[in-house]
Amino acid sequence: MLSWALVFGSLIVPLTAGNAHAGETATSAPAQSGQEMVLFQEVPSVSSASKYDQKVTEALSSVSIVTEADIKKYGYRTIADALRSVTGFFVTYDRDYYYIGVRGFGRPTDYNTRILILLDGRRMNDNIYDAAYVGTESVIDIDLVDRIEVIRGPGSSLYGNNALFAVMNILTKRGRDLKGTEVSADAAGLASYKGRVSYGNRFSSGVEALVSGSGYDSKGGSLF
């Protein structure tokens, strides 16, 4: 309102200059507001880089975070779908399992043994092949994921075995995030069906719980 008041308060002679100045203000204002939004927006925290909560800007590793909002926005249906969006990662599929490649390295029959996958800080790699499952065979439903923290680079000094190329920590939702019962059902081509029932709540006693069960079945396509 101040710039308009100056324009209307001027005589006819400086009116053109006043309009030009107002035009410059109008064009520069969005850029300045955009810069201010980036400067003052909340910096996300990460807990997997050093095993304690810290700002991403303070972490000594290259960190990417896939949030619940990203999962809903882009329609990711598995952990593997979400990892396809992370820079430097790629996913392959052999009609049985999904395999994660990092920075161009994805050796066949590797079974994701060079990546440590955590679920709320607890390792998901199995005890037989050290394999990590990120597709429809995963133990966690993508709808229960709050965010995925991807820490690039070796992390064996903190996490031990398997943390060679990256550490991925899948953080799940809490009971307070559901506040009741959720039911979902999916149907897709090739006779593919999926269902999920979840219940979560935070009670007055302070106890918090989340229980969920899901099932998936697909006949798939015939190769013959």
Residues 175-194: pLDDT tens digits? Answer: 999 999 999 999 999 899 99
Question: Is it the case that residue 6 has pLDDT exceeding 70?
Answer: no
pLDDT score for 45:
82
pLDDT band at 13 (very low <50, low <70, confident <90, very high): very low
Q: What is the pTM of this model?
A: 0.76
pLDDT band at 41 (very low <50, low <70, confident <90, very high): low
Q: Are strands 63-67 and 54-55 parallel, antiparallel or unpaired?
A: unpaired
Give residues with Cβ within 8 angstroms of 23, minimum separation 6: none
Under DSSP, is residue 151 helix (H, G, I), strand (E, B) or coil?
A: strand
- Choose the most confident range, by mean pLDDT, from 11-15, 46-50, 108-112, 214-218: 214-218
Question: Is it the case that residue 146 has pLDDT exceeding 70?
Answer: yes
Task: List the structure tokens of 11.
Answer: 């005589």
- Considering the chain, tell me which residue range(s) the CATH 2.170.130.10 domain(s) occupy: 45-172
CATH number of 45-172: 2.170.130.10
Under DSSP, is residue 66 helix (H, G, I), strand (E, B) or coil?
A: strand
Q: What is the mean pLDDT of the chain?
A: 82
pLDDT score for 20:
43
Q: Could you tell me what percent of the chain has a pLDDT over 90?
A: 54
Of 54, 46, 61, whose CA–CA distance to 157 is shortest?
61
pLDDT band at 14 (very low <50, low <70, confident <90, very high): very low
**Higher-confidence residue: 51 or 178?**
178
* Residues paired with 37 in a beta bridge: none
pLDDT in tens, 119-140: 999 999 998 889 989 999 898 9
